[in-house]
Homo-oligomer: A and B are copies of this chain.
Amino acid sequence: MASPTREPAPNGGPIGREDSTLDRIGRMLMAASFAQPQGQQWFGDDAAVLGTPPEGSEILFCTDVAVEGVHGNFEFMSPQELGWRAASSTLSDIAAMGGSPWVMVASVACAKHASIDELMEGVVESAAAFSCPVVGGDVSEAATTMVSIAVIGHVPRGTAVTRSGAHAGDTVFVTGPLGGSAAGLAAFQRGEEQIESTLRNAYLRPVPLLAQGAAARECGISAMIDVSDGLSIDLHRLADASHVGFELTSVPVCSGATLDEALGGGEDFALVMTTSDPEGLRSGFEDQGLEPPISIGMITPEHTQRIILGESSSPMGWVHDV
């Protein structure tokens, strides 16, 4: 948290803007009414002291970064929404393993034109909505605003759902229609004044499907991934990890979106699942009061066979130029 490239703060002042910012953030966290369990020590020390995860569970760990101008543009997206997105996309990675979130930390690099309080408000809103307290963080000034979130989750030991377990003959499911986020962004970029709330929210307020991911794990599915970069590319990744092919016979497209947006738009944070027991998966979701997932195709044995709607498919979706 130091920066010797700058002059020391003047002697005699208060303990400094950064400390008062951290104090404000600390109050924001308390107001979000996370209950710090006895014996734990969150926020305010060098590291958070957390006890142990639930008996019989094992730990999941992941990180995601949201960058101004890449993952969101302040022309269309508020700092709160960038903070929400960073936290929610990281939580979606926990959902995609079938896990439960436990705690998160946030590193926020904040440009002059953004407000760290607003960025953190978005992070804390997501943290509160999905029961994953913010227990620590770091702040820095920067030329570009960036929010990086790391989440510790947990899952009953040995039950984490990876990308690599799909088998030939498994049915492929997705939790819902796709392309909403890309269509929402496109509408903002066209300068539309009345953007349908489904598309607007899909882009600005993505929701990690934690209940669906856990329900799918309980149904004994074989593999899962979240659609962060596009159904096409993410399904290719699942197939690569599982050494299988796939044939998609339908692609549910979000109302107002195009097929290309559904296949390649990304950031929908839907979950793609494969299972040898499609009926069990549907009824497992229904038993928990969840909208049943949509069957979209099959896993095939030949690794190089990748077919979407009758055509051979190459990965389509967003990849960073790094």
Contacts and interface: CB of A to CB of B under 8 A. Distances in A.
A63 interface: yes
Contacts of A2: 71, 89, 228-230, 266-267, 317-318
Nearest to A186: B4
B63 A140 contact: no
B140 A97 contact: no
Contacts of A61: 47-48, 50, 103, 105, 135-136, 152
A115 to B, nearest CB: 9
A9 B316 contact: yes
A51 to B, nearest CB: 5
Contacts of A267: 2-4
A224 B225 CA distance: 42
User: Interface size class for chain A?
Assistant: 35 or more
Contacts of A237: 15, 19
A96 B2 CA distance: 15
A322 B71 contact: no
A1 B58 contact: no
Contacts of A69: 5, 142-143
Contacts of A155: 49
A22 to B, nearest CB: 9
A160 interface: yes
A9 B266 CA distance: 11
A153 B182 CA distance: 38
A50 to B, nearest CB: 4
A116 interface: yes
B150 A105 contact: yes
B163 A314 contact: no
B9 A319 contact: yes
Interface in A136-153: 136-144, 146, 148, 150-153
Interface in A20-55: 21, 39, 41, 44-53
A272 to B, nearest CB: 11
A93 interface: yes
A138 B71 CA distance: 13
Interface stretch (A106-114, A214-222, A248-256, A291-299): A106-114
12 contacts: A5-B72, A5-B73, A9-B316, A21-B322, A52-B59, A52-B157, A61-B105, A63-B148, A65-B107, A67-B109, A107-B150, A140-B320
Interface of A: 1-6, 8-9, 11-19, 21, 39, 41, 44-53, 57-65, 67-73, 89, 92-94, 96-97, 99, 103, 105-110, 116, 135-144, 146, 148, 150-153, 155, 157-158, 160, 162-164, 181-182, 185, 203, 224-226, 228-230, 233, 236-237, 240-241, 260, 264-267, 314-322
